[in-house]
Amino acid sequence: MRSLAGCFCMKQVRHKPGYEERIILASETPFTVNEIEALYDMFKKLSSTIIDDGLIHKEEFQLALFKNSSKQSLFVDRVFDLFDVKHNGVIEFGDFVRSLSVFHPNAPEAEKIAFLFRLYDLRQTGYIGHEELKEMVLALLSESDLSLSYDVVESIVEKTMMDADSKEDGKIDEEEWGEFVTKNPSIMKNMTLPCLKELTLTFPSFILNTEVPD
């Protein structure tokens, strides 16, 4: 997943009503209060890209990942759906922080593995089937502007199913997925965004001025 943080410049953030939520979010995620202040500034910029209503819509989310907002991507749709915790078609600030926290370098590996499983579980059945895996492989190739022949893609999917489906029932459940990812850690490389650990360093114009110490 491309870094959402790198495209934004931070300005001083003044505390507004609801500031206590930042403290709660810091207690529930690997982010510090100062980092959440920085994320709030980022969120405000994202949520006002197209519709200035304090919510991130799919078009705004897509624009954050692709300069050309018309580019359609199953990958983006799936990530948006997972960030849209309330399933109401928008991303609220709290959900944005909690969902983004799984990409933090300090987030537990188990949470990253579970998020990735849900990403591939397109039909939300509790397991990953052959066709779901194939759809996501094709989506990730498209997102990276790569193109492989049908035979090569099919070979990748078949090999993955063979390696991951230890119960040999034609599908990959969450337990099998965890074992497979542990044996193939490269699958997790995009589940960590180092910049999330350096938000307040990346944006030196952001003034650390919170009332609560980290």
State the residue range of the domain holding 86: 20-106+193-202
- % residues pLDDT > 70 (the chain): 80
CATH classification at residue 122: 1.10.238.10
213 located within any domain:
no
Pair of tokens at residue 125: 């059945």
6 located within any domain:
no
Pair of tokens at residue 62: 């897509």
Q: Between 194 and 129, name the one with better pLDDT.
A: 129
14 located within any domain:
no
Domain count for the chain, please give it. 2
The answer to whether 165 touches 171, Cβ cutoff 8 Å, is yes
Across the range 176-194, mean pLDDT stands at: 92
pLDDT value, residue 15: 47
Residue 102 shares a structural domain with residue 24: yes
Q: CA–CA separation, 103 vs 66, rounded Å?
A: 19
Residue 92 shares a structural domain with residue 198: yes
Across the range 12-25, mean pLDDT stands at: 62
Please determine, for residue 129, whether its predicted confidence score (pLDDT) is greater than 90.
yes
Q: Quote the mean pLDDT of the chain.
A: 82
The answer to whether 202 touches 5, Cβ cutoff 8 Å, is yes
Residue 159 shares a structural domain with residue 169: yes
79 located within any domain:
yes
The answer to whether 94 touches 25, Cβ cutoff 8 Å, is yes
Residue 119 shares a structural domain with residue 168: yes
Q: Could you read off the pLDDT of 34-72 as tens digits, one per residue?
A: 899 889 888 988 999 898 998 999 989 988 876 554 556
Residue 80 shares a structural domain with residue 125: no
Pair of tokens at residue 68: 């050309």
pLDDT value, residue 144: 76
Q: Could you read off the pLDDT of 133-182 as tens digits, one per residue?
A: 999 999 888 877 788 898 999 999 999 999 999 999 999 999 999 999 99
**Residue 57 DSSP code:** E
Q: Could you read off the pLDDT of 64-93 as tens digits, one per residue?
A: 876 554 556 788 889 999 999 999 999 999
